[in-house]
Amino acid sequence: MDTRDTACPPTDSAPVQPKDFIRLIVEEDNRTGRWDGRVHTRFPPEPNGYLHLGHAKSICLNFGLAREYGGKCNLRFDDTNPLKESDEYVQSIQRDVTWMGFNWDGMYYASDYFEQLYQFAEQLILKGKAYVDSQTAEEIRTARGTLTEPGVNSPWRDRSVEENLDLFRRMRAGEFPDGAHVLRAKIDMAHPNIVMRDPTMYRIRHTPHHRTGNAWCIYPLYDYTHCISDSLEGITHSLCTLEFENNRALYDWVLDELDAYHPQQTEFARLNLTYTVLSKRRLIQLVEEGHVDGWDDPRLPTLSGVRRRGVPAAALRSFCEKIGLARCDNMVDIALLDHCIREELNATAPRAMAVLKPLKVTITNYPEEQVEWFDFPWHPEKPEMGTRPLPFSRTLWIEQDDFREDAPRKWFRLAPGKEVRLRYAYYITCTEVVKDDAGNVVELKCTYDPETKGGWSKDGRKVKGTLHWLSAAHAKTAEARLYDRLFLEENPMDKKRHGKEFLECLNPESLHILPSIFIEPALAEAAPGFVCQFERLAYFCVDTRHSAPGAPVFNRTATLKDSWAKTERAGLAGEG
Ligand code: ATP
Ligand code: MG
């Protein structure tokens, strides 16, 4: 079935279509009985780095399809390159897939198939469909030709079956050094698709493998391995990103030549996101060169990074649903991801009190020693989440930004002579501004109205502003880390456009640390990973790495301002 004639929608971020093209293919296959009603997908990461948001799209697609159609999805480690792979990555990938909310039906490793892959390669040699080439890697590259010129046959292309078999066996036995020979498929050096010009299937690598140890010194290449692994596992729909479109011909060729069970490969557009990079190679560089603080740095688009920042998996699943699936590459606005994070946290995150940039307020008519406790709901729309008492006293902290000495006309927060509500407590009026020698405001003297207890006036007098606050004597301190975009350019990789290397696009202000903020008492003991909204400020999460009991570090997960929701309301979403 040709799956490529559907027109591309304008962008991945267009409103969710009822059924994307892959689901339509699955349903058509189920209708015609092509796979006897089976749906069996796989998520096949190479364990050479941590998973990122692009992988989340592939995870949601593969595991999601299996879930929706009562099928199965395997987790398969595509571990054919021992130089770059490790068990640390294998473990992190399992953690991330589980965190995303999915369970695999089977967990496999391409390295489990090394013996079978080897036997299949001998079969191809016996059929005259593979040969041992003794050119150097460089010679092979030059002889491959270009898009406009055919390649040139290798001088070793016509070796006899016996010679090929003998050499291949001796490659396996370790008789040759790295690079001495490779095994190539014998297809057509003039093929219009360069992938088909006698692709390399095996190379010699005297390198131990993280799972097979020293058992092998020849390793199969991705294209050869992937299709056979899919076939052995009985995969039905082999879904991959668009850059593998040209490789589909080889996928089909290998399985046809081996007369093997033959899944259908279908390509979809990879996720690209503004102001970040989604490529393991680049992410490894950021981590290894120390531009960020490890794979789980909250600024990174890795799944471990966004998890540490406090992003719930549900927000990522909803994001993947909203971006949909398309067949042409495009760029998704990172504001859409932020929107999904806010949408999820707005519904689920408890509200808490914190003051990031404190300004002292003294309530001059409030008794010195008095403390009153007010009940604060954990969530304004979810009474089932309960309440907790917060203390009110004569000396308070409010946010510096909530006071302006020269307030403009429509300033509803505190200003000299103005009255505001302290949330759930009292109305207060600013009567005096205290400054230091340099003229900075260091304290406000205010009076409170005892008739407004709970934050409501008995005489029906209204105030427009409601501020968050903390009792100075009871507040605890903590550190807050405010994160911003990691890159200043929309597409850091687009050198043609901005003339810079991607590292030169890094945002020097992507992390801003507030070493001492004030938090309500209960938060001091919050467990690592706890996410809440600091009322009127932002969503924050207790950092899992740097927090100690009683001394939490808070990562800003997302701000409250939603630029995406506005665009969407204006009907502009998905247009650019
Ligand atoms: P990278 O380009 O970041 O190195 P990769 O494609 O090499 O990624 P793999 O480990 O091979 O990473 O990917 C596992 C699966 O995830 C593949 O099926 C791949 O197509 C898919 N995938 C990787 N990146 C993206 C992305 N940005 N969007 C959607 N799917 C992706
Ligand atoms: Mg890859």
Task: Give the pLDDT score at 566.
Answer: 63
Q: Strand 72-77 vs strand 264-268: parallel, antiparallel, or unpaired?
A: unpaired
Which burial class, exposed, middle or buried, applies to 482 when counting CB atoms under 10 A from its CB (0-12, 13-18, 19+)?
middle
Query: What gap in Å lies between CA 265 and CA 129, rounded to an integer?
Result: 22
How close is the Cα of 221 to the center of ligand 2, in Å?
A: 11
Cβ neighbors of 139 (< 8 A, separation 6 or more) are: none
What mean pLDDT, rounded, does the chain reach?
Answer: 94
How close is the Cα of 46 to the center of ligand 2, in Å?
A: 6
Residue pLDDT, tens place only, 94-118: 999 999 999 999 999 999 999 999 9
Q: Give 7-61 as a DSSP string.
A: PPPS-TTSSPPSS-HHHHHHHHHHHHTTTTT--EEEE---SSS--BHHHHHHHHH
- For residue 55, say whether it is annotated as part of any ligand binding site: yes
Atom of ligand 1 nearest to the CA of 51: 10
- Is the pLDDT reported for residue 261 higher than 90? yes
CA dihedral 370→357→401→311, nearest 10 degrees, is -110
Q: Determine whether 270 is an active site residue.
A: yes
Query: What gap in Å lies between CA 148 and CA 408, rounded to an integer?
Result: 68
Residue pLDDT, tens place only, 106-164: 999 999 999 999 999 999 999 999 999 999 999 999 999 999 999 999 999 999 999 99
Residue 448 β-bridge partners: 428
Catalytic residue among 172, 280, 299, 476: 280
SS3 content of the chain, % helix, strand, coil (to 5): 30, 25, 45
- Band the pLDDT of 500: cuts 50, 70, 90: very high
- With 0.85 as the threshold, say if the pTM is over it: yes
Task: Give the pLDDT score at 573.
Answer: 44
- Is the pLDDT reported for residue 292 higher than 70? yes
Q: Strand 237-241 vs strand 264-268: parallel, antiparallel, or unpaired?
A: parallel
Report yes or no: 541 and 467 within 8 Å, Cβ to Cβ.
no
- For residue 326, say whether it is annotated as part of any ligand binding site: no
**CB atoms closer than 10 angstroms to residue 428:** 27
How close is the Cα of 505 to the center of ligand 2, in Å?
A: 25
- Band the pLDDT of 562: cuts 50, 70, 90: confident
Atom of ligand 1 nearest to the CA of 271: 28
Identify the residue whose tokens are 């270009």: 146
- Is the pLDDT reported for residue 2 higher than 70? no
Cβ neighbors of 325 (< 8 A, separation 6 or more) are: 12, 20, 21, 22, 61, 268, 269
Cβ neighbors of 306 (< 8 A, separation 6 or more) are: 53, 298, 300, 316
Mutate to test the pocket of ligand 1, among 13, 57, 58, 240 (most ligand atoms within 8 A of CB): 58
Q: Determine whether 327 is an active site residue.
A: no
How close is the Cα of 59 to the center of ligand 1, in Å?
A: 10
- For residue 241, say whether it is annotated as part of any ligand binding site: yes
Q: Give 425-486 as a DSSP string.
A: S-EEEEEEEEE-TTS-EEEEEEEE-GGGGGG--TT----S-EE--EETTT-EEEEEEEE--S
Residue pLDDT, tens place only, 386-414: 999 999 999 999 999 999 999 998 999 99
Residue nearest to atom 10 of ligand 1 (CA): 45
Query: What gap in Å lies between CA 187 and CA 225, rounded to an integer?
Result: 17
Query: What gap in Å lies between CA 326 and CA 217, rounded to an integer?
Result: 40
- Band the pLDDT of 571: cuts 50, 70, 90: low
Structure tokens at 225: 């391995």
How close is the Cα of 55 to the center of ligand 1, in Å?
A: 6
Report yes or no: 63 and 316 within 8 Å, Cβ to Cβ.
no
**CB within 6 Å of ligand 1 — which residues?**
44-46, 54-55, 57-58, 240-241, 270-271, 278-281
What domains lie within the chain, and their CATH numbers?
Answer: 1-31 (no CATH), 38-268 (3.40.50.620), 280-350+478-575 (2.40.240.10), 354-468 (2.40.240.10)
Atom of ligand 1 nearest to the CA of 47: 10
Atom of ligand 1 nearest to the CA of 239: 18
Catalytic residue among 270, 327, 351, 423: 270
